[in-house]
């Protein structure tokens, strides 16, 4: 059901934990399955120097968070905002159809953290939109 890459990232997730002096923190939740993802970033000069996450959720959510954090590390905030759940899924060699929504959690958590960073820097960023999952 799952690709080898998904299983590998699920078994050995990268960048798990918290960053005590993070200057960007985002959290998104899924009202239906109750899964929550929290993302911490250390951003300097608009570059994501470090990123960590905590996911209280399913294996697909953990694997996509792991891959997504690997993909945004070292990127500028603008580049990170371009990251889609589709790109993360492709990097993981796909997800079963009924698990696609789980990958949205990672994309939204990155956006939520960057929005937090921008608000802290005085930018006028709208409130995060509510994430709703379709299962
Ligand atoms: Fe909730 Fe996967 S089942 S995020």
Cα→Cα distances 21→51, 75, 83, Å: 11, 19, 24
**93 SS3 class:** coil
Whether 124 is covered by a domain: the verdict is no
Whether 128 is covered by a domain: the verdict is no
Do 84 and 104 contact (CB within 8 A), yes or no? no
Q: Read off the CATH number of the domain in which 96 is found.
A: 3.90.1010.10
Whether 132 is covered by a domain: the verdict is no
Quote the domain boundaries for residue 15. 4-119
Whether 37 is covered by a domain: the verdict is yes
Q: Is the CB of 60 under 6 A from ligand 1?
A: yes
Task: State the total domains in the chain.
Answer: 1
Q: Is the CB of 102 under 6 A from ligand 1?
A: yes
Query: Apex CA 116: angle with CA 77 and CA 87, to 5°?
Result: 45
How far, in Å, is the centroid of ligand 1 from the Cα of 76? 28
What's the pLDDT tens digit per position in 23-74? 999 999 876 678 899 999 999 999 999 999 999 989 999 999 999 999 999 9
What's the pLDDT tens digit per position in 76-127? 999 999 999 999 999 999 999 989 888 888 999 999 999 999 999 999 887 8
Whether 100 is covered by a domain: the verdict is yes
Whether 130 is covered by a domain: the verdict is no
């Amino acid at each position: 059901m799952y690709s080898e890459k998904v299983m590998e990232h699920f078994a050995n997730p990268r960048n798990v934990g918290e960053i005590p002096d993070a200057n960007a923190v985002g959290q998104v939740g899924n009202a239906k399955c109750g899964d929550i993802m929290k993302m911490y970033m250390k951003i300097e000069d608009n570059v994501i120097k470090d990123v960590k996450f905590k996911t209280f959720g399913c294996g697909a959510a953990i694997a996509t968070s792991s891959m997504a954090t690997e993909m945004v590390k070292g990127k500028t905030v603008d580049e990170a905002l371009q990251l889609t759940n589709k790109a993360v899924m492709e990097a993981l060699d796909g997800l079963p159809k009924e698990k696609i929504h789980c990958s949205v959690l990672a994309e939204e958590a990155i956006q939520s953290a960057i929005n937090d960073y921008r608000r802290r820097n005085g930018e006028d960023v709208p409130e995060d939109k509510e994430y709703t999952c379709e299962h």
